[in-house]
Amino acid sequence: MKLVIAYIRPERLNAVKQALYERKIYNMSVTNSLGSGRQKGFTETYRGVVMEVNLLKKIRLEIGLNDDFLDAALAAIKQGAQTGAEGDGVIFVQDLEQAIRIRTEEEGPTAMG
C-alpha cells in the first residue's frame, strides 16, 4: 500500500480529478495549503506599498492506494497538473503500513478498495 501526496496548482484540481477518475481512482483527500518552493513567490504593489508574497496557494492531494494503482495515479496526477511552467507542483510517495476501514473494520489492502 502507498500514500501519494501531491501539491498542485489550485486551478489544475479539476483536470487532476478527471484524470484520476478515468483510471478508476476515486479515493482522495483535498486540502488548501500555502507553501514556497522554487517559485520563491512574487512581489505586488498594494495601495502604493510593495509587498512580497512568498507563500503561494497550493492544493494538497492525499491518495491512499494499493500498489497496483500507483503507476496509474502518478500518471494521472502528472497529466492533469502539468502546464510546463515552474510551480506545477511535486509528488511524494510513501509506504503505508496499515489501513483500516472504520465502518467494516476491514484491514490492509481490502480496506483501500
Give the position of cell 483501500. Answer: 112
CA distances from 104 to 26, 45, 101, 110, 113 (A): 19, 54, 6, 10, 12
Task: Write down the domain spans for the chain.
Answer: 2-112
pLDDT in tens, 18-56: 999 999 999 999 999 988 777 666 677 778 877 777 788
The CATH code of domain 2-112 reads: 3.30.70.120
pLDDT in tens, 50-88: 777 778 899 999 999 999 999 999 999 999 999 999 889
Whole-structure pTM over 0.95, yes or no? no
